């Protein structure tokens, strides 16, 4: 079962989607570079290598998930000029797996090699103040908010922003750098505790659900959007993502709108690469953009097993100047994030999860990230359960969650 073509592959120009122009094609056998050695880099390596490319990863850790599977691991800091020049000299194109890579590093690489996404796009996504301003200028609905940079700005913030969430402008992810505040006094106290770093104060909105859309866009301005995933978070970390190839009529309108907005965001950025846009669905059915990630996204991991071309394959295709892949979703899926918590029993003692029981679940696909040490809250892997129907995928996910002692009530 597929989404209608207009839903999944809207181009912002009229050129043939299958004949990239103006960008030289990098043939398989050449080197592609990755800044960052985490699990997103690891999955990129798998996808690029399956297409015949060699991958060099730059990461400071001696043993990192991507480094151990890459064809070359350059162990160095992200701002190490010599290492960056070595990466640029070897690779025909370079990308990144996380948004907090130094923008100056991307700029240095771009002087001699193709870089996607570019430093401007990454810099906007690195800073919540810049991100909110960009989205607002692009005409994308966002929650009521105010930038908090100088003392006194919280005192001047509108009453409609309370209760709200105070979010650090930089380096916040998976719920980090965020504090719920019920009043102005709590916001002032929280900002002081955060060291008066630049923040965004965002009003809490009447939330019905959270969805996200992954988009791939090439240098010719052509883009495709994947089916939106319905996301459940726990403690600020994505826990479950659910995707249904044929959404109920009640959801189709805002799913189509979300896909269109995500592609419009990529177009407004002149973005080249894979981009995820997260949305709040309000109680009245309106969509509000929450944030964007200039890279493949946790909520898009279902694309590895449930789609014709995964988000990581798209990442490789775009940076190599190859045609965009088909994002069609072939079946329903439920993805469970596997955190380090499942390695600990009720007494807090380490134990190996029951992978055999998980793999015995019909339709279950296990992905472990190769991290040596399990820690609570650390992303260690994910399980995607496929099903001919959403009910079948949910039932399988319920079994897998029980085997891993993960709460599951979707």
Which CATH number characterizes residue 347's domain? Answer: 3.30.470.20
Radius of gyration, alpha carbons of the chain: 21
Is 216 a residue whose pLDDT tops 80? yes
Is 5 a residue whose pLDDT tops 70? no
Which CATH number characterizes residue 274's domain? Answer: 3.40.50.20
175 assigned binding-site residue: yes
For residues 85 and 16, which has the higher predicted lDDT (pLDDT)?
85
Please check whether residues 230 and 369 belong to one and the same domain.
no
pTM (2 decimals)? 0.92
216 assigned binding-site residue: no
Is 18 a residue whose pLDDT tops 70? no
Is 202 a residue whose pLDDT tops 90? yes
Query: Residue 182 is part of which domain span?
Result: 144-203
Is 91 a residue whose pLDDT tops 80? yes
Please check whether residues 98 and 219 belong to one and the same domain.
yes
177 assigned binding-site residue: yes
Question: In the chain, what percentage of residues exceed pLDDT 70?
Answer: 93
202 assigned binding-site residue: yes
Please check whether residues 222 and 310 belong to one and the same domain.
yes
The pLDDT-based confidence of 115 (bands split at 50, 70, 90) is very high
pLDDT value of residue 12: 46
Please check whether residues 235 and 313 belong to one and the same domain.
yes
Phi/psi of residue 257, nearest 5 degrees? -65, -40
Write down how long the chain is. Answer: 410
pLDDT value of residue 172: 63
63 assigned binding-site residue: no
**Over residues 323-345, mean pLDDT:** 97
Tally of structural domains, the chain:
3
The two tokens of residue 225 are 């959007």
Please check whether residues 365 and 247 belong to one and the same domain.
no
Terminal alpha carbon distance of the chain? 22
Please check whether residues 82 and 16 belong to one and the same domain.
yes
174 assigned binding-site residue: yes
Question: In the chain, what percentage of residues exceed pLDDT 90?
Answer: 85
160 assigned binding-site residue: no
Is 10 a residue whose pLDDT tops 90? no
pLDDT digits over 290-329, tens only?
999 999 999 999 999 999 999 999 999 999 999 999 999 9
pLDDT value of residue 220: 96
The pLDDT-based confidence of 14 (bands split at 50, 70, 90) is very low
Is 180 a residue whose pLDDT tops 70? yes
Instruction: Kindly state whether residue 57 falls inside one of the protein's structural domains.
Output: yes
The pLDDT-based confidence of 338 (bands split at 50, 70, 90) is very high
Instruction: Kindly state whether residue 102 falls inside one of the protein's structural domains.
Output: yes
**Over residues 241-267, mean pLDDT:** 90
203 assigned binding-site residue: yes
Is 21 a residue whose pLDDT tops 60? no
Instruction: Kindly state whether residue 83 falls inside one of the protein's structural domains.
Output: yes
pLDDT value of residue 173: 62
Residue at a domain's end among 160, 178, 203: 203
233 assigned binding-site residue: yes
Lowest pLDDT segment from 170-179, 346-355, 360-369: 170-179
Residue at a domain's end among 175, 203, 231: 203
pLDDT value of residue 16: 40
| Average pLDDT score, the chain | 92
pLDDT value of residue 177: 82
The pLDDT-based confidence of 140 (bands split at 50, 70, 90) is very high
399 assigned binding-site residue: no
Query: From start to end of 113-262, where are the E strands?
Result: 114-115, 145-148, 164-168, 178-181, 199-203, 207-217, 223-225, 229-234, 237-243
pLDDT value of residue 263: 97
**Over residues 207-225, mean pLDDT:** 97
The pLDDT-based confidence of 285 (bands split at 50, 70, 90) is confident
Which CATH number characterizes residue 162's domain? Answer: 3.30.1490.20
pLDDT value of residue 391: 96
Instruction: Kindly state whether residue 135 falls inside one of the protein's structural domains.
Output: no
291 assigned binding-site residue: yes
pLDDT value of residue 2: 37
Other Cβ atoms less than 10 A from the Cβ of 252: the count is 14
pLDDT value of residue 8: 45
Instruction: Kindly state whether residue 186 falls inside one of the protein's structural domains.
Output: yes
């Amino acid at each position: 079962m597929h989404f209608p073509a207009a839903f999944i592959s809207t181009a912002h120009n009229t050129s043939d989607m299958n004949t990239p122009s103006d960008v030289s094609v990098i043939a398989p056998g050449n080197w592609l570079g990755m800044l960052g050695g985490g699990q997103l880099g690891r999955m990129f390596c798998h996808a690029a290598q399956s297409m015949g490319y060699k991958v060099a990863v730059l990461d400071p850790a001696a043993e990192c998930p991507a480094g151990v599977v890459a064809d070359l691991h350059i162990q160095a800091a992200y701002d190490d000029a010599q290492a960056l020049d070595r990466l640029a000299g070897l690779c025909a194109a370079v990308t990144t797996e996380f948004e907090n890579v130094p923008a100056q590093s991307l700029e240095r690489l771009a002087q001699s090699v193709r870089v996607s996404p570019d430093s401007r796009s990454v810099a906007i996504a690195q800073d919540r103040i810049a991100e909110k301003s960009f989205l607002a200028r692009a005409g994308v609905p966002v929650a009521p908010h105010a930038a908090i940079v100088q003392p006194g700005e919280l005192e001047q913030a509108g009453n409609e922003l309370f209760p709200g969430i105070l979010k650090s402008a930089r380096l916040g992810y998976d719920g980090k750098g965020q504090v719920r505040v019920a009043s102005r006094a709590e916001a002032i106290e929280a900002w002081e505790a955060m060291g008066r770093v630049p923040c965004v104060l965002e009003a809490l909105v009447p939330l019905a659900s959270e969805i996200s859309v992954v988009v791939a866009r090439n240098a010719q301005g052509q883009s495709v959007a994947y089916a939106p995933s319905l996301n459940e978070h726990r403690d600020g970390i994505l826990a479950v993502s659910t995707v249904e190839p044929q959404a109920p009529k009640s959801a189709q309108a805002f799913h189509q709108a979300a896909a269109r907005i995500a592609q419009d965001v990529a177009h407004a950025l002149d973005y080249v690469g894979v981009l995820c846009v997260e949305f709040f669905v309000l109680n009245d059915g309106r969509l509000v953009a929450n944030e964007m990630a200039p890279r493949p996204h946790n909520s898009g991991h279902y694309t590895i097993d449930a789609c014709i071309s995964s988000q990581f394959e798209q990442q490789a295709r775009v940076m190599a100047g190859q045609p965009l892949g088909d994002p069609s979703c072939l079946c329903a899926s439920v993805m469970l994030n596997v955190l380090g918590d499942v390695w600990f029993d009720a007494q807090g003692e380490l134990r190996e999860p029951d992978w055999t029981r998980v793999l015995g679940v019909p339709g279950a696909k296990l992905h472990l990230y190769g991290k040596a040490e399990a820690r609570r809250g650390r992303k260690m892997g994910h399980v995607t359960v496929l099903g001919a129907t959403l009910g079948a995928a949910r039932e399988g996910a319920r079994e897998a969650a029980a085997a891993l002692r993960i709460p599951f009530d979707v």
